[in-house]
Amino acid sequence: MDLTAHLKAHFDEGVELRLRMAQTLPREIARAGEALAAAIRAGGKALACGNGGSAADCQHFAAELVGRFERERPGMPAIALTVDSSALTAIANDYDFDRVFSKQVEALGRPGDMLLAISTSGNSRNVVEAMKAAQAKGLAVIALTGRDGGAMAKMVRANDFHLNVSHPRTMRVQEIHLLVIHCLCEVVDNVIYGEKK
């Protein structure tokens, strides 16, 4: 195997996907980011959930809002529902792993908050359950999916946002998901604090 050629193919595939997604995602990212900024400005917060690499993306997203993205500004309220090991293990043990995020949404979510729900397949049961809990509590949802959007695509309501990276490879989907998260953070910063000079 020619490793150099093999690795170059990864770059080529990633570039092709970015160019394709640049034709479809920016408008919906802008809409979702504006809604998130409005929620935060009105006193709401962002909750985020996902598994594995998507859990890491949740933590990254929350850190960018609570700390800072690319400018100095006050922290914004965001919670990654993936980090409280006591809550996660208690809920998984006492109920079911499918409920590790939905129970937290039920406890922490308030009308006016938003949920960032991340699943590369769109079918992660615990993320689907979190979407259901969020919708039942009046939270708008930003569904960040891959492939065909799975079950989550079918759950999106009029006040929700579906940001779908239509590609079969998990690693490619996750690469675009990180770009989407950065774009959401930039939109929130620009809407609340004005465009960065």
Structural domains in the chain plus CATH codes:
3-193 (3.40.50.10490)
The C-alpha angle with vertex 20 and arms to 17 and 24, in degrees rounded to 5, equals 125
User: CB neighbours of 51 closer than 8 A, spacing ≥ 6?
Assistant: 82, 119, 124, 126, 127
Average pLDDT over residues 158-179: 98
Taking a C-beta distance cutoff of 8 angstroms, is the pair 133, 105 a contact? yes
The residue whose two tokens read 């239509």 is 166
d(CA 194, CA 188): 9
| Beta strand extents in the chain (DSSP E only) | 46-49, 78-80, 114-119, 140-146, 161-165
**What amino acid is encoded at 128 in this protein?**
V
DSSP 151-183: HHHHH--TT-EEEEE--S-HHHHHHHHHHHHHH
Q: Average pLDDT over the chain, rounded to whole?
A: 97
Closest CA to 122 of 48, 51, 172: 51
Q: For 69-86, write each residue's pLDDT tens digit.
A: 999 999 999 999 999 999
What pLDDT does residue 150 have?
98
pLDDT tens by residue, 36-46: 999 999 999 99
Model pLDDT for residues 91-108, shown as the tens digit of each residue: 999 999 999 999 999 999
Query: What is the reported pLDDT for 46?
Result: 98
Asked whether the predicted pLDDT for residue 197 surpasses 70, the reply is: no
pLDDT at 1: 82
Contact 147, 120 (CB under 8 A): yes
pLDDT of residue 193: 95
CB burial readout 172-191, b (16+ within 10 A) else e: bbbbbbebbbbbbbbbbbbb
Under a CB-based contact definition with an 8 Å cutoff, are residues 131 and 117 in contact?
yes
Where does the pLDDT of residue 196 fall: very low under 50, low under 70, confident under 90, or very high at 90 and above? confident
Identify whether the C-beta of residue 107 lies closer than 8 Å to the C-beta of residue 138: no
Q: Model confidence over 109-136: pLDDT tens digits? A: 999 999 999 999 999 999 999 999 999 9
- Compute the distance between CA of residue 116 and CA of residue 104 in angstroms, rounded to an integer: 13
